[in-house]
Structure 1
Amino acid sequence: MAKALEGFNFEQRHGKARVRVARVWRSKDGRHHFMVEWNVNISLLSNCVAAYVSDDNSDIVATDTMKNTVYVKAKECSEQLSPEKFAILLGEHFTSFYPQVYTAIVKIVEKPWERISVNSQPHDHGFKLGSEKHTAEAIVQKSSVLQLTSGIEGLSLLKTTQSGFEGFIRDKYTALPETRERMLATEVTASWRYSYESVSSIPQEPLYFNDHYLNVKKVLVDTFFGPPVGGVYSVSVQSTLLQMEKAVLGRFTDISSVQLKMPNIHFLPVNISSKDNGNIVKFNDDVYLPTDEPHGSIEASLSRFRSKM
C-alpha cells in the first residue's frame, strides 16, 4: 500500500529470507520417519512508516522474530503438512498476531529429499536427495483473502527423437538449418495459481497440495513425452509448452492459471572432418555436443477467463 510522503509515493516491506528449517515426524510406533527441509522467505507489508521517517521502530516486527517464528510454528505442527499449508499458517499468524501487518507473503522452496529403498523395501528413516524442487507461495491478507501458488523448479526433461523445428523466419542472420529430427531438452520451471480466494476455502487435508504437486508434475511430464511407445512429435518448444499448460488446466479444476518457462537446452550435432579424412566423425543422429549456454528462452502463461495471474 503506497503512502504519500513529502510529495512522493512511498512503498515499503521487510522480511527474513532463506530461513532453513528441517522437520521430522514419526509414526505412532516411532519406527517410520517422515521429513522435509524447507527454505522459507517471509515478506511483511505493514504500517511501520515511522521507522523510515521518524526514527521510531516501535511498529517493526524484527526479522529475527520472523526467523524464530518459523521454528516455533514448525514445532507446533504435530502432523505432516504441505509447504502450501505451512506458508498459509505463517501468513495467518503474522497478519493476525501483529495489528500493523496487513499482508504477509510467504514463499517456501522444499528440498527434494526422497525416501530410499533397500532390497526393494522403503527404508524406515533413509533419504536421498532428488532433483526438482517443490515451491509454494501464499499471500495472506488480514481479511483472510488468499492468493496461493505452487510450482516446480529444475524439472529436467529430455527426449532423443520425435522433435523438429521447421518453417521459421530465415534471413541473412540465420544459420540454423531446418530439421525434423533433433534432440529436445529443457529444464522446466512451472507455477500454477489455485482458485481458492480465502484461507477458509482451501481443502482441509494436510497433504492435499502435496498430492496435487505430484499429479501436476505427472501431467506435465506425460504430455511432454507422449505415449511410452512412439512418444509424440514436438513441432517446437512453444507448441509443446502450450500442450502441457492445456493439459494441466484440463485436468485440475481448482487451478486457474499456469505458467511455464522452458529453455531450449541445445544438443548440437557433431561433424568432424579434415582435409586428410573427410569423415572422422559423421553425424547420424547419434553424437552430440551438450551445451547450456547460450540457450533458447521460451515462456508463456495460460489462464482461465477471470484468472488474476
Structure 2
Amino acid sequence: MATKHEEQIDGFKFEQRHGKERVRVGRVWRSGENGRHVFVEWNVSISLLSDCINAYVRADNSDIVATDTMKNTVYVKAKECSEQVSVEEFAIILAKHFTTFYQQVTTAIIKIVEKPWERISIDGQPHDHGFKLGSERHTTEVILNKNGALRVTSGVDGLALLKTTQSGFEGFIRDQNTILPETRERMLATEVSASWRYYFESLSSVSNKSLGFTEKYLNVKKVLVDTFFGPPKEGVYSPSVQATLNYMAKAVLGRFPEVSSIQLRMPNIHFLPVNLSSKANPVIVKFEDDVYLPTDEPHGSIEASLSRIQSKM
C-alpha cells in the first residue's frame, strides 16, 4: 500500500506529503449506557498524499488542502459523531473524508493516540460523569487509498508490567566484556508497545457498528498481560524477555483469527540488586532478592514481529 507520493521533477525523484500533527480533541457523549457520560481525548495526526506538485515547483497552492482545514475537519467530524465511536472508527471516518472529498488526495494516513481516561468508582459504584487518568494508551493507524484499499492497525503503548519472580537469564554469550551473572531468579519489568494489524483490506469490507474495535483492543491487551504473568498463584517462568515476547505474540495470533500480524517492543527495564559495604562494615546491605535500585536507562531493547504466512492456494 502506497505511503508516499512520488513524481519526477527535472530528472529527480521527488517525494512529498503534508498534514497536521497533534490535533487534540476531547469528545463527550452524554447519552451513554445507563445515562452515564462517555469521554475520550484523542491526539490526531493526519498525513495526506496528494497531487499538489505545483505548490512545490510553481508556487501554485491551488491544489493544497490547508493543514488548518485538516485541523478543523477533526472537530467537525467529532461533532458529527452523535453516537460513541472507537478510535479506529474515527480514524476511518477521517480517512474516508479526505480521500473522497478532495479529488487531489490519493491516500490518507491517520494516526490517533487515545489518552487513558478511565471511569472512577465511588464506594464501589461507577460514577456517571467522573474520570481519572490511567496509564497505557490506545493507538491506531489507518491508511486508506482513494481506490478503497485499507489498512487498520491498533495498538497499546506504555503498558508497564513487572513481576518479582519467575524470571531468569542463562546461557548467553560470554566474553572478556561480560560481567553479568547468570540467574534463574530476577525481577522482570518492561513497558510494552504493541501494534497489531487486522485482515481488513478494503473499505467495503468494513461495516460500521459491527467492528467492536474497543472490545478487541481490551481483549488483546488482556491476552498480552495474562501471558506475561501466567496463573495468579504459580505464574509462568520467563527464560528471557525474547521468549516471553514470542509467547505473547503467539497467544494473540492464536486467540484472534482477525489479526494478521503483531509487533511487540519490550525494553528490559532493570532493577539492580543492592549490596552495600564499607571497610568498617563489609555487610551493610546484603542482597537477598529484596532490595533493588530502579533504573530507567540504559535498558535492554527487545522487539520482534509475528505474522501469519499467507496461503497461496
Normalising by structure 1, report the TM-score. 0.97
Aligned partner of residue 238 in structure 1, secondary structure: helix
| Residue 157 to residue 78, structure 1, CA distance change in 2 (3 Å) | same
Cα separation, partners in 2 of 1:195 and 1:243, compared to 1, 3 Å:
same
**2-side partners of 1:152 and 1:286: how far apart?**
31
Q: Residues 240 and 96 from structure 1, CA distance in 2 versus in 1: closer, same or farther, beyond 3 angstroms?
A: same
**Alignment match, 1:20:** 24
Distance 1:203 1:129 in 2: 31
Counterpart selection for 1:141 from 142, 145, 150: 145
Q: Of residues 77, 84, 97 in structure 2, which corresponds to 1:93?
A: 97
Q: How does 1:98-113 map to 2 (within 5 A)?
A: 98-113=102-117
Counterpart residue number, 2:61: 57
| Contact 1:36 1:110 survives alignment (8 Å) | yes
2: distance between equivalents of 1:190 and 1:201? 24
Deviates more, 1:47-56 or 1:24-33: 24-33
Alpha-carbon deviation of 1:199?
A: 1.4
- In structure 2, the partner of 1:234 is 238
Match of 1:159 in 2: 163
Contact kept? 2:32, 2:38, Cα under 8 Å = no
Aligned partner letter, 1:170: R
Matched, 1:221 2:225: yes
CA RMSD of aligned residues (A): 1.3
Cα 1:198/1:207, change in 2 over 3 Å: closer
Kindly provide the CA deviation profile for residues 149-177 of structure 1, in whole angstroms up to 9, marking residues without a partner as x. 00001000000000000000000000100
CA contact (8 A) 1:81 1:207 kept: no
Is contact 1:82–1:207 with CA below 8 Å preserved after alignment? no
With normalisation by structure 2, the TM-score equals 0.96
Cα separation, 1, equivalents of 2:15 and 2:78? 31
Q: 1:1-309 maps to which residues of 2 (within 5 A)?
A: 1-27=5-31, 31-205=35-209, 208-306=212-310
> Which deviates more from structure 2 when the two are superposed, residues 243-252 or residues 31-40?
31-40
Q: 1:220 and 1:48 mapped to 2: Cα distance?
A: 43
2:59, 2:293 → 1: CA distance?
59
- Match of 2:16, SS state, is coil
Deviations 1:250-304 (A, max 9, x none): 0000100000000000000011111211211000000000001000000000000
In 1: Cα distance, 2:297 partner to 2:169 partner:
19
Contact 1:80 1:207 in 2 (8 A): no
How many residue pairs get matched? 307
Native 8 Å contact 1:82 1:206 kept in 2:
no
Q: Write the letter of the residue equivalent to 1:294.
A: P
What are structure 1's unaligned runs of at least 5 residues? Answer: none
Letter of the structure 2 residue corresponding to residue 194 of structure 1: Y
Name the CA distance, whole Å, in 2 between partners of 1:258 and 1:121: 36
Identity of aligned residues (%): 73
* Contact 1:241–1:260 (CA under 8 A) maintained in structure 2: yes
SS of 1:259's partner is strand
Structure 2 residue matching 1:86: 3-state secondary structure: helix
| Mapped partners of 1:288, 1:30: distance in 2 | 46
Decide whether the 8 Å contact of 2:186 with 2:289 is kept in 1: yes
Secondary structure of the structure 1 residue equivalent to 2:24: strand
3-state SS of 1:55 partner: coil
Change (3 A) 1:280 1:217: same
Q: Secondary structure at the match of 1:108?
A: strand
